Each structure stands twice: as structure tokens, then as C-alpha cells.
Chains A and B, each alone.
Chain A
Amino acid sequence: MNYQKIRAQVENPLLTAFGALSPAVPVFFDNITAAPANSTTEYVRVNVTFGLTNDPTLTSSVDNARGAIVIRCFSKKGEGPARNQTLITTAVDVLETLNDSTKGTTGTYFKVGSIEGPSFSSTEDAPLFMGRIETSYVATVLS
């Protein structure tokens, strides 16, 4: 399977977009240790999950996968939602741009579904204010 190619489709543009913010916001993906526990500095957590996939042995050259993308933006607590909303907007813009790509003969064709959220939560125990959006995706690796 081409899991890495599929991940790259969503992770690279998100990394670029959050890096371009002022100040730049660190982004953590699956299996990368995020900010230390109880951190009070802002960061973004991106999780790409894989659901059902097909195997290249079933079709000669195409890999299909579908799953979910969940983006959580953590910003300082007690300072209003504006900063968190800026981070959420950045993520939504990236996801919407992904749908602009057209299907070619090589590379990875990636489409996201409708975006759910944002939902915000801030509990007494959690050190940061959290904004969350989620969407589904389908990806086809063409070769």
C-alpha cells in the first residue's frame, strides 16, 4: 500500500500553511510526540486514519483508501477564541484546496468530504483551548 503517499497529500500542505502563520505554529502528526503533556503553548494535531483499503493484488496498479482526517488546534486558554479560529480557518482552507486537484494519470488523487465542525472545548483540567474539525477522504494512488 501507499499509505505514505496518501499521508503526504494532506500533511505537507498543512505543515506549509501553519508554518506560514505569524508566529508559526508547530504541527504534530501520527506517531510524532506532540507538545509535552500539560503544555501551555499552542500547537496543532493532525490525525489521518485509514479505514477500508484495497490491495494492489486485487487491481494491478491502483491503490484506493478511505478514512478520516481530524485536526485539533490547541491555543491558549482564557484569551478568547480568535486565535483558535485563525488556526481552524487555516486548516479548512487547506482541506478545501485539496479538492481543487484534478485526476491525472500519475501521482495521488485525493478528495475530502464535507467538513464537520468546528467544535470548541475547554475543560478545567485541560491546559489549552481546543478547536476541532473533521472530514472524510478518499484517495487513489495512480502509478
Chain B
Amino acid sequence: MAVSKNKNFVKNIKKKIGDEARLQINRVAREATKEVMNGLAEEGPVWSGRFRDSWVAEGKGSKTKGGKVGSYPYSLWNVPKLSITLKELNRAKRIEIRNTTTYAAIAMDKEPGIFQIKNKQGSFITNPTPVKNKSGYLQRGTRVSGLRGDIEGGSGNNRSTAPLDWYKNFISGGKYTQALERGIRLARVRPTQKDEGIIK
């Protein structure tokens, strides 16, 4: 009887430690995702704010519970809750961040595009003021290649609110890594009790 109790005790402790470790991994993943989404929103172009508010985190795997679609600044509510089963933890790709706007590739300088803003009624706005104008970055001039950020100085009326190749620079220039590190630190110092992202 005593042996059986001891066995259960050890088994329970092991399970408790295992679950706690897995929860911590999920906290790190979710906090890091949130920080990356906010980093992308801050670095990218902001005219109407639609592109900035269209970053979504999509959980991969069968047992994820979708995060709510939100807007900048993003919170943990916008990041899906993840399963803590071993099978799901071993998944190579657990969360995917993407932008849902149809012109995301243009805004990320991957493709050339047409640059006109429509109002709610569907007609083109002739001289709109970008949201990001207030925070400082605004290039003016001639758009040479048809790319969003390829603005040369001069007498053109084209404008961009984020530098050319801001996305690639965010990923390769160190800010992406910084956002991940910030997420890891936040997960360590802020273990939430209500929102632990558990699905058993």
C-alpha cells in the first residue's frame, strides 16, 4: 500500500514538473509571437493603419485555439493558445505570423504596386495624410521602380512611411531577434495565472 502511494507520488511530481515545463515553453512562444507582431507593426508602413492592424498569428496543429484578430498594439489575446501535448510541442512550426491585407507583398517591398488610397465610399482620396506622419518618417519624391519604398528625392508627390526593405531589415538586422528575446524575458517575469494558454 505504502509502495503504491509512493509510486503515485513520484508519478504525480513528474507529471507536475513536465506540465510546468511545457507551459513555460508555450508562454515563451506566445509572448515572443506578440512581441514580433508589435515589432512588425512599428517598423512597417502606416497610412490608414489597416496594414499595421492586420497582423495575425495562426496556430499550427490540431489542438490550437485561435487567438482573436486584433489591432496594434497586439496582446496575448491575439496569439493562439497552444496545446501542451508532447506531439504538439515537437511540431517544428507552431505559430505563423502573417498579414491579411491583399497588398501585404507590396507593403513589404516584395512586389511593385499601385499607390492610391480609397475612402469608405470607394473613391480615391487625393491627398491623404498618413497616420505615421506624426511619428516622423516620411520620404517624399519620385517613385522610380513602382516599389513602395523606392522613393528618390526630387519633385515627385510620392510618399512612403517606412524605408525600403524595412521587412527584410527587421528580420536580418537584429530587431526580430530582439523581439524574441524580449518575449522570452516577459514570459519569465510575467507568468500569468488566468491566461496561461493551456489546452489539455
Q: Which residues of A are interface residues toward B (Cβ below 8 A)? A: 33-37, 39, 45, 47, 49-52, 66-68, 70, 72, 74, 113, 119, 121, 123, 125-128, 130, 132, 134-137
Contact = CB atoms under 8 A, between A and B. Distances in A.
Contact of A121 (B111, B143, B154, B171): B111
A126 B106 CA distance: 12
Contact of B145 (A49, A68, A126): A126
Contact of A67 (B114, B154, B156, B173): B173
B173 A52 contact: yes
A135 B169 CA distance: 10
B107 interface: no
B174 A51 contact: yes
Give chain A's interface secondary structure class: strand
Nearest to B112: A126
A113 B114 contact: no
Interface residues of B, number: 29
Nearest to A45: B145
B62 to A, nearest CB: 30
Contacts of B173: 49-52, 66-68, 136
A51 B146 contact: no
A89 to B, nearest CB: 20
B111 to A, nearest CB: 5
B152 A123 contact: no
Contacts of A33: 144, 152-154
A72 B168 CA distance: 13
Given A119-B110, A126-B112, A74 B168 contact: no
A47 to B, nearest CB: 5
B146 A126 contact: yes
B167 to A, nearest CB: 9
A137 B172 CA distance: 8
A130 B145 contact: yes
Nearest to B105: A121
A49 B163 contact: yes
Contacts of B145: 34, 45, 72, 74, 126, 128, 130
